[in-house]
Amino acid sequence: MSLPDPNKVDTKRARDPRIDAFRGLLLAMIFIDHVPGNPYESWLTIRNWGFSDAAESFFIMSGIAAGIAYSGRLTNGITSLWQGIAPVWKRAWVLYLSHIFLTVAGIAIFALGAKLFTEPSLLMKNNLRQMFINTDDTIIGIVTLGHQIGYVNILPAYSVLLIGAPIAILAGRRWPWQTLAVSVALWFAAGMFRLNFPAYPNPGGWFFNPFSWQLLFVVGLLSGMAARRGESFVPNSRVLFWIAAFWLVFVLAWRYVPQLGPFMNQRMADLAKLGLPFHITSHDKTFVPLLRMSHALALAYVVSSIPLVRRACAHWAAEPLRVMGRQGLLIFSAGALLSLAGQVLLAAYPDMPLVPWVYIPTGILVLIGIAWLGDWKRRIGQPEARSLVATGPRPLPAE
C-alpha cells in the first residue's frame, strides 16, 4: 500500500473537525475539574459519567494528533531519520519548558494568595509544602521533574511520551498490532510491579505514570497514523460499537444505580482478595487500571463512530471549541493558571457561593478569547495556515 507524500499539499483531505472540537471541549472540562468545589464539576464533565475523566480522553486525542502530525516524515523515507525525530523532540522540549513555567507561576499564585488573603494554609496545598520547608531539594526536584505540584503535572508525562514517540511510530508502521501488544505488556507490567518514574524529594512516583499512560497515547498514535493514510486502526464494527456502548451504559449504572454499585464494588474487592492485580480491580488514576482504561477507550470508540458527532463538531456553533483545540498548549497553560487562581479565590471566600458560579463561566470565556487571539496571530503570521495540508494538526498536551 502506497503512503502519501508528506511534502505534498492535499487540498482534498479536509481536517477532521472532531480533533479540534474534542480537544477544546476536554480543555474546558479540565479547567472545570481543576477548580474543586465549583458547582459545575458535579454534572458537566466526563468523570460524572463513568470511571475515566478528561485526562484519559485527552491522552488519546494527543496520540491521534501526534500520529497525524509526525508519522509522515518518519515513515516515508524521504528525509533523514533525524529530520523526522527532531520536530517531535523539539515539541517535547517546549512542553518541558512550559511545565517549568507553569510550576513556578503556580507556586507564585499560591504564595501571593497566602499573603493577600492571610491564608497560610494555601502553602500546604497541591504538593507545595516541600517548596517552603525544603526549598533547595524541591528546586532540584522541579527541574528534574521529580517534584510536580498538583493540577500542573500532566506535561511531564506527555513530554516523555513524545521522546519515545519516534520509536513507536517506526514500529507501528510495520507492526501496528505487535506495537500495541508491547504497549499493553508495558502497561500490565507497570501495574503488576508498580513501575514508575521516581519522585524527589517526596517518596513515591509521578502522578501521571508514563509507563501506564503510554497505552492510551499509543492507541491514539496508531489511530492517527492510520487516519493519515485514510484508514482506520480499529475496524468499524457494529458488534464492537454495541459492546462499547453496553459497557458505557453498564458503567453509568454502576456509578448511579444504588443496588448495582455496592454489588460490583464488592465483586472487585473479592477478586482482589483472590490475587488479581490492583490495576485490574481498582480505580487508581496513576496506573490507569483496566476499569478506567476500558471506559476511556469505549467512550472514544462510540463517539468516533457516530456520524452525527462529526457533523456537530463541524457546525459553526462548535467553532469556539475548535479554536480552543487548535491552540491546545496555550489554552492548557492559561487554563492551568486560571484554575489555580480559582482555587485561591474559593479558599479566600468560602462563604460566597456566587464566586464559583461566576468564576467558571467567566474563565471559559477568557479561555475562548485567548484562543481567538492565538488563532488570529497564527493566521496573521502564517497565511498558509488557512490551507488544509497533509501534515494535519500539531499534537497538543493533555490536561
Whole-angstrom CA distances from 162 to 67, 159, 170, 354 are: 11, 5, 13, 41
CB 228 within 8 A of CB 67: yes
Q: What is the pLDDT of residue 241?
A: 97
Cell of 27: 480543555
Instruction: Count how many Cα atoms sit within 13 Å of the Cα of residue 280 in the half-sphere of its side chain.
Output: 16
Q: What is the pLDDT of residue 36?
A: 95
Burial pattern 44-72, b for ≥16 Cβ within 10 A else e, equals ebbbebbbbbbbbbbbbbbbbbbbbbbbb
Cell of 244: 462499547
d(CA 116, CA 349): 12
CB 79 within 8 A of CB 73: yes
CB 260 within 8 A of CB 100: no
79-88: Cβ within 8 A, 24+ apart: 84/166, 85/166, 88/162, 88/163, 88/165, 88/166
d(CA 169, CA 395): 14
Distance of CA 75 to the CA centre of its chain: 25
Q: What is the pLDDT of residue 370?
A: 97
Residues contacting 336, CB < 8 A, separation 6+: 34, 102, 106, 151, 152
Q: What is the pLDDT of residue 279?
A: 94
Place of cell 512516583: 205
d(CA 39, CA 397): 26
Per-residue pLDDT tens listing for the chain (399 residues): 333 333 343 444 567 899 999 999 999 999 999 999 999 999 999 999 999 999 999 999 999 999 999 988 886 555 578 888 999 999 999 999 999 999 999 999 999 999 999 999 999 999 999 999 999 999 999 999 999 999 999 999 999 999 999 999 999 999 999 999 999 999 999 999 999 999 999 999 999 999 999 999 999 999 999 999 889 999 999 999 999 999 999 999 999 999 999 999 999 999 999 999 999 999 999 999 999 999 999 999 999 999 999 999 999 999 999 999 999 999 999 999 999 999 999 999 999 999 999 999 999 999 999 999 999 887 787 655 444 434 444 444 433
Place of cell 453496553: 246
Q: What is the pLDDT of residue 294?
A: 97
Burial class (CB in 10 A: 0-12, 13-18, 19+), 340: buried
- In three-state secondary structure terms, 51 is coil
Burial class (CB in 10 A: 0-12, 13-18, 19+), 387: exposed
Burial class (CB in 10 A: 0-12, 13-18, 19+), 113: buried
d(CA 112, CA 119): 10
